[in-house]
């Protein structure tokens, strides 16, 4: 079967099926439409950008009743219509055309691949799919009754060979280094880098010892050590699942943690008096919030003794301050969670940054000879990050949680559990700004509130490498000539993030013991199993191929226009749905789907 050739110079040969991959599954009408659109005879080259514009031979007013089926099929179908249909069918609206080469048969197809966005203003179907996957992940780990087992495969022969080769190179490197043979050292380093890539490709995980031992970390004075909070410490137990009560109930927990108040806010979350609202602390707290959450889990595990597992999401409240929802496996007494929250804090040992020293009119300059930033007038080098940190005697910022701690016991499988999984994942498809209510309907007070917070974030360093440090007369870690003082690309400074730059979903390692990819693969496997049970063989099962994938250039002649790509994806989706429904009806439920997201997905 030939692949689509939108630019073919000759009229289509009736014996050549100009169709998309697996075109044999297209309904005849759809195939006609594809053919009509792909047929160069029906649209001129200048229209290639929008091949769905009405072919000039068609009448300007359309009477569907008097048209043949073929004419109907050739009616204009705008990008908008294609987009609407795609969205309706849960098909990616921004598909990427990929060239798939079957290395066994040599067949080449152009296949639409989903964009995989997690934001619904970019691609609602993909964002929705991503959110459902997170829901499945949350559901699977929350009420686990047995300890998740980490199964590590025994090393393969290839892996062992590669590892041995690496050890030999490692020894050779050390030898060359002692002899001062830098050229050989460099060559060996290249080979090791290559080997490491192969090891990763062969599925080896974990840390590979670097050739050069890292320079000794700067010793911190004991003054700077975070004190262990005043909490009870229970003996360590090797368990992650919750306890059973009354012989059958195994409740789990839903927890919400918030930050302190920075000033009064109205019902929309906007500051009542922006001049008295503490934007400085709000901005710093937002940036250091993930570190505080980390400390919370460390303290919790130390206090309760068992390996507490969690699925947590970071979200903005209406006032734009981050808060944290977490599903915890098992129960921890409410009073204890409150005590842990109260005792948890995080100290930020960064140089002081309260007074701006440089502003846009007068900024530090890079001195090419001294290889550092200098004062624009005196030309004296600014203190380096390490120098600035050495002099610290107290933390510049300390962050704690607010008074409000919300704890709720939830039974597995209950309607309540489902609802809380909904809460946890509700805002994952929105940016922080959107979730905080910054949209069309925002009030003036809300806009002003977010503007003030955003302005403060422009002068709040987001990390030791942040170029905002230069405004405070300190060279960021790893300072280099390309840095522009005050212009940091870090997400924390952006309106879409409002200080919340880290991951939105934080899942502990032994939650479900699966990565998102594992969950995705599991879903695919379930559907295949269901189809196979009734004798339906998916067109492109894992048994086919192997495939080689290529990203074609947008100007390549075999790349169909976007609406066509969309229609193809829709047809695929419909075919797949039909197969799935047939399989479901045929099996009458002997296959129980306990991965509920699969069911959601297929529906
Ligand atoms: Zn998409
Ligand atoms: Zn920054």
Dihedral sign computed on CA atoms, order 164, 167, 172, 175: negative
pLDDT score of 220 more than 60: no
Ligand nearest to the CA of 127: 1
**Residue 386 CA, ligand 2 centroid: distance in Å:** 18
What pLDDT score does 43 carry?
A: 36
**Residue 491 CA, ligand 2 centroid: distance in Å:** 7
Radius of gyration of the chain (CA): 30
**Do residues 497 and 435 lie in contact, with contact meaning Cβ atoms separated by under 8 Å?**
no
* DSSP 8-state class, residue 87: H
* Cβ partners under 8 Å of residue 100, min gap 6: 21, 108, 109, 110, 111, 547, 548, 549, 550
Residue 546, preceding bond cis, omega within 30 degrees?
yes
In order, the DSSP letters of 151-197 are: -PPPPPHHHHHHHHHHHHHHHHHHHHHHHT-HHHHHHHHHHHHHHHH
Ligand nearest to the CA of 492: 2
Residues recorded for the chain: 603
What pLDDT score does 498 carry?
A: 93
Ligand nearest to the CA of 569: 1
State how far the Cα of 548 lies from the Cα of 542, in Å rounded to an integer. Answer: 13
Ligand nearest to the CA of 484: 2
**Residue 418 CA, ligand 1 centroid: distance in Å:** 26
Q: Quick one: which of 148, 150, 18 has its CA closest to 558? A: 18
**Residue 115 CA, ligand 1 centroid: distance in Å:** 4
What pLDDT score does 33 carry?
A: 40
pLDDT score of 60 more than 50: no
pLDDT score of 27 more than 60: no
Mean residue pLDDT across the chain: 80
State how far the Cα of 188 lies from the Cα of 211, in Å rounded to an integer. Answer: 9
State how far the Cα of 483 lies from the Cα of 462, in Å rounded to an integer. Answer: 15
**Residue 593 CA, ligand 1 centroid: distance in Å:** 26
- Name 149's bridge partners: none
Give percent above pLDDT 70 in the chain.
79
In this prediction, residues 523-543 reach a mean pLDDT of 70
**Residue 93 CA, ligand 1 centroid: distance in Å:** 5
Helix (H, G, I), strand (E, B) or coil at 297: helix
Ligand nearest to the CA of 488: 2
Helix (H, G, I), strand (E, B) or coil at 147: coil
Burial environment of residue 282 by CB neighbours within 10 A (0 to 12, 13 to 18, 19 or more)? buried
What pLDDT score does 61 carry?
A: 55
Per-residue pLDDT tens for 469-499? 999 999 999 999 999 999 999 999 999 999 9
**Residue 565 CA, ligand 1 centroid: distance in Å:** 13
**Residue 324 CA, ligand 2 centroid: distance in Å:** 23
Residues around ligand 1, an ion, CB closer than 5 A: 92, 94, 114-115, 123, 126
pLDDT score of 509 more than 70: yes
**Model confidence at 207, in pLDDT bands (50, 70, 90)?**
confident
Per-residue pLDDT tens for 262-309? 999 999 999 999 999 999 999 999 999 999 999 999 999 989 888 999
In order, the DSSP letters of 23-64 are: GGGS-HHHHHHHHHHH-GGGS-GGGGGSTTSPPTTS-SS--G
What pLDDT score does 531 carry?
A: 76
Give percent above pLDDT 90 in the chain.
39
Count CA atoms closer than 13 A to 543's CA, side-chain side.
5
Per-residue pLDDT tens for 581-597? 888 787 765 444 444 44
**Residue 323 CA, ligand 1 centroid: distance in Å:** 28
Q: What is the pTM of this model?
A: 0.73
Ligand nearest to the CA of 469: 2
In this prediction, residues 209-230 reach a mean pLDDT of 62
What pLDDT score does 65 carry?
A: 63
The end-to-end CA distance of the chain, in Å, is 32
Name which residue leads in pLDDT, 554 or 143.
143
Q: Quick one: which of 110, 112, 83 has its CA closest to 96? A: 112
**Residue 424 CA, ligand 1 centroid: distance in Å:** 22
Ligand nearest to the CA of 485: 2
What pLDDT score does 223 carry?
A: 53
* Cβ partners under 8 Å of residue 93, min gap 6: 83, 86, 87, 123, 124, 125, 126, 566
What pLDDT score does 380 carry?
A: 95
Ligand nearest to the CA of 497: 2
Per-residue pLDDT tens for 408-461? 999 887 899 999 999 999 999 999 988 888 888 889 999 999 999 999 999 999
**Residue 131 CA, ligand 1 centroid: distance in Å:** 13
Helix and strand numbers, DSSP H then E, in the chain: 15, 11
Ligand nearest to the CA of 487: 2
What pLDDT score does 104 carry?
A: 83
**Residue 356 CA, ligand 2 centroid: distance in Å:** 15
**Do residues 23 and 1 lie in contact, with contact meaning Cβ atoms separated by under 8 Å?**
yes
**Residue 128 CA, ligand 1 centroid: distance in Å:** 9
State how far the Cα of 293 lies from the Cα of 340, in Å rounded to an integer. Answer: 12
Show the CA angle centred on residue 598, arms to residues 594 and 600, nearest 5°: 110
Q: How many CB atoms lie within 10 A of CB 257?
A: 23
> Phi and psi of 104, rounded to 5°?
-90, -50
Ligand nearest to the CA of 463: 2
What pLDDT score does 454 carry?
A: 96
**Do residues 262 and 256 lie in contact, with contact meaning Cβ atoms separated by under 8 Å?**
no
C-alpha distances out from residue 334 to 323, 328, 345, 532, Å: 18, 12, 19, 48
**Residue 467 CA, ligand 2 centroid: distance in Å:** 6
Show the CA angle centred on residue 125, arms to residues 496 and 51, nearest 5°: 100
pLDDT score of 83 more than 90: no
State how far the Cα of 285 lies from the Cα of 262, in Å rounded to an integer. Answer: 10
pLDDT score of 204 more than 70: yes
Instruction: Delimit the domains of the chain by residue range.
Output: 23-138+514-602, 157-201, 240-507
**Model confidence at 544, in pLDDT bands (50, 70, 90)?**
low
**Residue 118 CA, ligand 1 centroid: distance in Å:** 8
What pLDDT score does 5 carry?
A: 35
pLDDT score of 111 more than 70: yes
**Residue 457 CA, ligand 2 centroid: distance in Å:** 9
Helix (H, G, I), strand (E, B) or coil at 422: helix
pLDDT score of 129 more than 80: yes
Query: According to DSSP H, which parts of 459-561 are helical?
Result: 516-533
Cα 292–chain centre separation: 21
- Name 365's bridge partners: 374
**Residue 416 CA, ligand 2 centroid: distance in Å:** 40
**Residue 425 CA, ligand 1 centroid: distance in Å:** 19
C-alpha distances out from residue 223 to 132, 220, 308, 411, 497, Å: 46, 8, 30, 44, 34
**Model confidence at 49, in pLDDT bands (50, 70, 90)?**
very low
**Residue 459 CA, ligand 2 centroid: distance in Å:** 9
**Residue 221 CA, ligand 2 centroid: distance in Å:** 27
**Model confidence at 30, in pLDDT bands (50, 70, 90)?**
very low
State how far the Cα of 588 lies from the Cα of 603, in Å rounded to an integer. Answer: 16
**Residue 127 CA, ligand 2 centroid: distance in Å:** 27
What pLDDT score does 339 carry?
A: 92
Count CA atoms closer than 13 A to 567's CA, side-chain side.
28
**Residue 502 CA, ligand 2 centroid: distance in Å:** 12
pLDDT score of 221 more than 70: no
Per-residue pLDDT tens for 335-381? 999 999 999 999 999 999 999 999 888 999 999 999 999 999 999 99
């Amino acid at each position: 079967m030939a692949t689509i050739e939108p630019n073919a110079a000759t009229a289509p040969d009736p014996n050549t099926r100009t169709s998309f991959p697996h075109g044999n599954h297209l309904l005849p009408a759809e195939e006609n439409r594809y053919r009509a659109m792909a047929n160069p005879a029906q649209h001129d080259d200048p229209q290639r950008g929008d091949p769905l514009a009405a072919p000039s031979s068609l009448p300007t007013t359309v009477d569907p009743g008097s048209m043949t089926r073929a004419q109907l099929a050739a009616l204009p179908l705008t990008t908008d219509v294609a987009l609407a249909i795609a969205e309706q069918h849960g098909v990616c609206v921004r598909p990427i055309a990929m060239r798939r080469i079957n290395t066994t048969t040599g067949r080449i197809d152009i296949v639409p691949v989903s964009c995989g966005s997690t934001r619904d203003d970019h691609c609602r179907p993909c964002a929705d799919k991503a959110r459902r996957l997170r829901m499945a992940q949350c559901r699977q780990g929350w009420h686990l009754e047995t300890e998740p087992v980490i199964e590590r495969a025994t090393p393969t022969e290839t892996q062992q060979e590669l590892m041995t080769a690496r050890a030999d190179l490692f020894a050779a490197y050390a030898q060359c280094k002692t002899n001062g043979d830098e050229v050989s050292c460099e060559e060996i380093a290249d080979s090791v880098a290559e080997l490491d890539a192969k090891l990763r490709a062969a599925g080896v995980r974990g840390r590979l010892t670097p050739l050069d031992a890292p320079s000794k970390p700067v010793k911190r004075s004991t003054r700077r050590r975070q004190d262990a909070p005043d909490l009870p410490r229970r003996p360590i137990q090797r368990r992650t699942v919750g306890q059973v009560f009354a012989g059958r109930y195994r409740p789990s927990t839903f927890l919400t943690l918030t930050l302190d108040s920075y000033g009064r806010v109205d019902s929309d979350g906007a500051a009542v008096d922006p001049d008295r609202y503490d934007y400085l602390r709000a901005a710093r707290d937002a940036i250091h919030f993930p570190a505080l959450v980390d400390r919370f889990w460390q303290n919790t595990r130390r206090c309760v003794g068992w390996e507490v597992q969690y699925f947590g999401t970071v979200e903005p409240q209406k006032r734009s301050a981050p808060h944290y929802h977490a599903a915890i496996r098992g129960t921890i007494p409410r009073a204890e969670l409150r005590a842990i929250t109260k005792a948890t804090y995080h100290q930020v040992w960064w140089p002081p940054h309260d007074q701006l020293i440089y502003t846009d009119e007068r900024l530090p300059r890079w001195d090419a000879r001294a290889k550092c930033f200098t004062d624009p007038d005196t030309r004296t080098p600014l203190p380096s990050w390490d120098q600035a940190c050495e002099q610290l005697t107290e933390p510049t910022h300390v962050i704690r949680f607010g008074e409000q701690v919300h704890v709720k016991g939830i039974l597995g499988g209950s309607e309540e559990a489902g609802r809380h999984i909904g809460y946890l994942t509700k805002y994952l498809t929105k940016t922080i700004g959107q979730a905080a209510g910054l949209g069309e309907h925002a009030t003036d007070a809300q806009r002003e509130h977010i503007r003030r917070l955003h302005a403060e974030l422009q002068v709040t360093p987001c990390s030791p490498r942040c170029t905002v440090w230069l405004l405070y007369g300190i060279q960021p870690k790893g300072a280099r000539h390309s840095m522009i003082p005050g212009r940091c690309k870090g997400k924390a400074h952006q309106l879409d993030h409002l200080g919340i730059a880290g991951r939105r979903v934080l899942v502990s390692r032994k939650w479900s013991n699966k990565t998102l990819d594992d969950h995705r693969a599991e879903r695919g496997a379930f559907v295949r199993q269901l189809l196979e049970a009734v004798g339906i063989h998916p067109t492109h099962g894992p048994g086919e191929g192997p495939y080689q994938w290529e990203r074609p250039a947008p100007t390549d002649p075999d790349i169909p226009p976007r609406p066509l790509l969309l229609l193809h994806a829709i047809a695929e989706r419909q075919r797949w749905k039909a197969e799935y429904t047939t399989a479901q009806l045929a099996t009458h439920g002997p296959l129980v789907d306990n991965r509920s997201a699969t069911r959601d997905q297929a529906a």
